[in-house]
Chains A and B, each alone.
Chain A
Amino acid sequence: DIQLTQSPSFLSASVGDRVTITCRASQGISSYLAWYQQKPGKAPKLLISAASALQSGVPSRFSGSGSGTEFTLTIASLQPEDFAAYYCQQLITYPITFGQGTRLEIK
């Protein structure tokens, strides 16, 4: 199985901050990576596909980059509604796997 390791696992930040979350794959996955946002009690929401393609309706302050084994999700200027958990997911091979998650909390 391909393991995805996210860092940090917890992140405390303030409104207006720029934050970056990293996802490292245990082997190369090209650009077959997605990012999801999950708020408490809700289903995950797809933010980014193919490592860097922003989904329709997702604010432009979100961006993704990377390929191979290292990927990043950046939020340019945190808004109150961005405080949530974030997960990366690989889909190059089965079983599909997710990172352990990054919880973004208000400082």
Chain B
Amino acid sequence: QVQLQESGPGLVKPSQTLSLTCTVSGGSISSGSYYWSWIRQPAGKGLDWIGHIDTSGSTNYNPSLKSRVTISLDTSKNQFSLKLSSVTAADTAVYYCARGSRGTYYDSWGQGTLVTVSS
């Protein structure tokens, strides 16, 4: 049973870069046909897809965030990461990492981590 766990700062200043890491256990991040994904949820609101990276390293990002987002894989640590630059208060949300299988059905999720953008 694969498990995912987000980690990173809970507070980021405006205009800085948000950096989060998702550690995957119970399976190799470099095997299988999966999409390692980031999804966020502002408080009291719905789910917003940020983007994903597949096991070959190919990425796909939400156009609304594309100029600010980078998702990368670190197969040596069995982790993948999110960087979101030039953050504003609108980026305050719970950030989830998730595994997309059989396309992008998200069958495994991290517990989520709250990131607040504030000075």
Contact = CB atoms under 8 A, between A and B. Distances in A.
| Interaction A to B | yes
Interface residues of B, number: 21
A101 B48 CA distance: 12
A44 B64 contact: no
Nearest to A85: B46
Contact of A32 (B49, B96, B103, B110): B103
B109 A43 contact: yes
A97 B106 contact: no
A95 B112 contact: no
Nearest to B51: A95
B50 to A, nearest CB: 9
A96 B104 contact: yes
B106 A95 contact: no
Interface of B: 46-49, 60, 62-64, 96, 98, 100, 102-107, 109-112
Given A49-B102, A98-B49, A101-B46, 5 more contacts: A34-B105, A43-B109, A44-B47, A50-B105, A95-B49
Interface of A: 32, 34, 36, 42-46, 49-50, 55, 87, 89, 91, 94-101
CB-based closest 6 A-B pairs: A43-B109, A96-B49, A98-B47, A91-B104, A49-B105, A95-B62
